[in-house]
Amino acid sequence: MKKHLTFAVALAALGCGTAAFAQDDFSAQLKARQGQFRIMAINLGILGGMAQGKMDYDADAAQAAADTLVAVSTIQQGPMWPEGSDNMSIDGTRAQPTIWEQNDDFLSKWSDFGTAAQAMQAAASGGVEALGPVMGQIGGACKACHDTHRAPAN
């Protein structure tokens, strides 16, 4: 009997938890995950600007940008992508349900970004010529994921 009660209470608690979860607008998670992509874009802008010759090459600045990309790639992604925070369920996101349906694919593509970021970390202070090809590798990683998992902007 006592065991049953414990079970019922646990179940009720779980029910409440789920309900609270469902009411969450996930605004904190959206800000966090969109913010990390913004950090990536700003630092890619530094490296890409140098690669294109729009700004002078500066080995220290390039290295700092590449190090930041690697740092972003090490942020654990799971807590920022709760179930139900896709673009079919809530507004304010372009995250496709495929992120959850094909989660292994999503995480493998995120890991590809990490690999590309490390390649940039190794290349960044070695001269401007090295930046272009690695930018291509990073761009490939971005596109590969956005191809499937991000919806077009409205």
Q: Interface with other proteins by CB under 8 A: which residues? A: 37, 40-42, 44-45, 48, 52, 87, 94, 135-136, 139-140, 142-144, 146-147, 150-154
Per the listing, tokens 């292994």 go with 104
Cβ atoms < 10 Å from Cβ of 89: 13
Least distance to other proteins, CB of residue 23, Å: 23
Q: What is the spatial distance between Cα 29 and Cα 26, in angstroms, rounded to a whole number? A: 5
Among residues 30, 151, 19, 38, the alpha carbon closest in space to that of 80 is found at 30
Nearer to other proteins, 94 or 118 (CB): 94
Least distance to other proteins, CB of residue 150, Å: 4
Q: What is the spatial distance between Cα 124 and Cα 128, in angstroms, rounded to a whole number? A: 8
Least distance to other proteins, CB of residue 79, Å: 24
Nearer to other proteins, 78 or 152 (CB): 152
Nearer to other proteins, 31 or 143 (CB): 143
Cβ atoms < 10 Å from Cβ of 141: 20
